[in-house]
Amino acid sequence: MKKIMPTDLIKMKKRGEKIVMITAYDYPTARLVDEADVDAILVGDSLGMVVLGYDSTLPVTMDEMLHHVRAVARAKPRALVIGDMPFLSYEVSRSEAVYNAGLMIKAGAEAVKVEGGIEIIDKVEAMVEAGIPVMGHVGLTPQRMLKIGGYKLMGKKVEIAEKIIEDAKALEDAGAFAVVIEFTVAEVAKIITEKLSIPTICIGSGPWCDGQVLVIHDILGLTLSPPPFAKKYVDLSKIILDAVKQYANEVRTGVFPSEEHTMHMSKEEYKELLNKIKRNN
């Protein structure tokens, strides 16, 4: 099947086809979600919280992101691979933004994602000019949690709603190929989707976007405190817990390993080994 590229997502919007994006942070997960026929895989900085145990995405480093991008890229997915640019990897200067985005591409990403709007437009333009496809991210921007006062629903007031809409349009004008809208009231996400010619991908922002994205740990039931908009499709935590408990019990009671999981020498080789040991002693 044909490899999905950023331009394909734009074509999907024009055709009215919903875009499916999900996060993945390692080789086996990337292989599985790609087999499930998703359109895009986001190697999100959310890995800081769901994989590395940080309290937020702020501590995530470029080295950590590159490590996980490489792992996902090794699965050679048909889906578009997008590397999330971590906090302070692109905000400082145009040159630093281009350099770090270039590292993402060299690691195997086919596009990068950045959080913010008008305040980072010059960096987005620089990355696009360097030939790097950029996905924007507006609404709730977790890397700016300290500034906005925590994890909260965005766009409820007119002034904030107008700012989010302006940010999304500015990202399109700067050359972004798509925009993520996070935890924003559905009405604002609908307006943005109708105004932009590039696709919008919602996470907790209602049904009217061109696509949806969720963190895979949330849909698998592996997150201790999932966000209110996430849907759990399976309780994998219980399945894992039950499996490990059974394994531990079987080891302690001698049930595992059984004959089925035990490998043997031939009787002749074993006899010869015992004879050699006996002679050497």
Q: Which residues are part of the catalytic machinery?
A: 182
Distance CA 174, CA 17 (A): 24
CA 101: distance to chain centroid? 16
Contact 111, 84 (CB under 8 A): no
**Angle at the Cα of 105 (from 101 to 110), degrees rounded to 5?**
110
Distance CA 114, CA 116 (A): 7
Residues 95/101/103/106 CA torsion (nearest 10 deg): -130
Query: CB within 8 A of 8, min separation 6: which ones?
Result: 2, 39, 80
DSSP 85: P
Beta partners for residue 80, in sequence order: 40
**What is the residue whose two structure tokens read 């604002």?**
188
